[in-house]
Structure 1
Amino acid sequence: MALKLSLKPGEKFVLNGAVVQNGDRRGVLLLQNKASVLREKDIMQPEDVTTPASRIYFPVMMMYLDESSAPKMYDEFVLRLSEFMGAISNPAILAECVGVSKHVLSREYYKALMGARKLVEYEEQRLGHAPRLQTGGDAD
């Protein structure tokens, strides 16, 4: 099944490690096989990794974008997830943490990334920070 990306003018995304930018008009991209695709709004820059949840999101993002980095990033992910889970008492968020961990162990990095995104959003709500990751539509 193809992945359909509807792109805004000038929108950037990462495709298998390459940064690609759409032209000056709306566009649609159909990917016919498996590829690592991440929209600009879902990309966290290293300088934005300043909170416990962002320290979970970032290594998962790196594993998704470059699976060869997974062994190196996995240890960081486990450490940060353990720290986060030790400080949280919300059962729904703890369940989300377990889900993220299961997806990482299954090498389902995109699913893990979407779960980690929920952790970042939860943290932002609790701390009252402006969102680090934009919210909005996903790939069609």
Structure 2
Amino acid sequence: MALKISLKPGEKIVVNGAVIVNGDRRSTLILQNKASLLREKDILLAEDVDTPVKHVYFPIMLMYMDDKGFNKYHEQFVLRMTELLSVIEEPGAKALCVAISKDVMDGEYYKALLKCKKMFEYEGERLNYVP
């Protein structure tokens, strides 16, 4: 099944590790086979990893985009998720962490990233900031 992506002028995406920048007009891309794809808004830079949930999100993103470094990124994920679970008390947030871990175990990294984004809201409320 093909994936159709509409890009805004100047918008960036990463496809299998390659950064693609759209030109000065809106355009549409159609990916006909399986690929690891992240939109610019979903990419977290190392220097922006400054909260516990971002420390979980970042290695998942790297596992998704760079399978060669999987072992290193997976170790980081396990460490950070263990740390996060040790301080979360709210049952819904714990359940979401478990669901993220299950997605990672199943190789469903993009789904895990989407669930992590839901955790940003929870974290923002607890740390009193807007992500």
Instruction: Please give the range of the TM-score, normalised by the shorter of the 2 chains.
Output: over 0.9
Q: Distance in 2 between matches of 1:46 and 1:29?
A: 28
Q: How far is the alpha carbon of 1:121 from its aligned partner?
A: 2.6
> Which residue of 2 is the match for residue 120 of structure 1?
120
- Tell me the TM-score normalised to structure 1 length: 0.89
| Alpha-carbon contact 1:61-1:109 (below 8 Å) kept | yes
Task: Give a deviation string over 1:3-50, Cα, whole Å, max 9, x none.
Answer: 111110010010100100011111111101100100000100101111
SS of residue in 1 equivalent to 2:25: coil
Which of the pair has the greater relative contact order for Cα pairs under 8 Å at 6+ separation? 1
* Aligned AA (1:29): L
| Alpha-carbon contact 1:57-1:120 (below 8 Å) kept | no
Say which structure is richer in helix: 2
**Corresponding position: 1:40 with 2:35:** no
Aligned CA RMSD, in angstroms, stands at 1.0
- Tell me the TM-score normalised to structure 2 length: 0.95
Give identity over the alignment, percent: 56
| Structure 1 alignment gaps of length 5 or more | 132-140
> Which residue of 2 is the match for residue 134 of structure 1?
none
| Structure 2 alignment gaps of length 5 or more | none
Q: Distance in 2 between matches of 1:117 and 1:56?
A: 10
- The farther-off stretch of 116-125 and 11-20 is 116-125
* Aligned AA (2:122): Y
| Alpha-carbon contact 1:14-1:38 (below 8 Å) kept | yes
> Which residue of 2 is the match for residue 95 of structure 1?
95
* Aligned AA (2:53): A
Question: What are the equivalent positions in structure 2 for 1:56-71 lying under 5 Å apart?
Answer: 56-71=56-71
SS of residue in 2 equivalent to 1:53: helix
> Which residue of 2 is the match for residue 4 of structure 1?
4
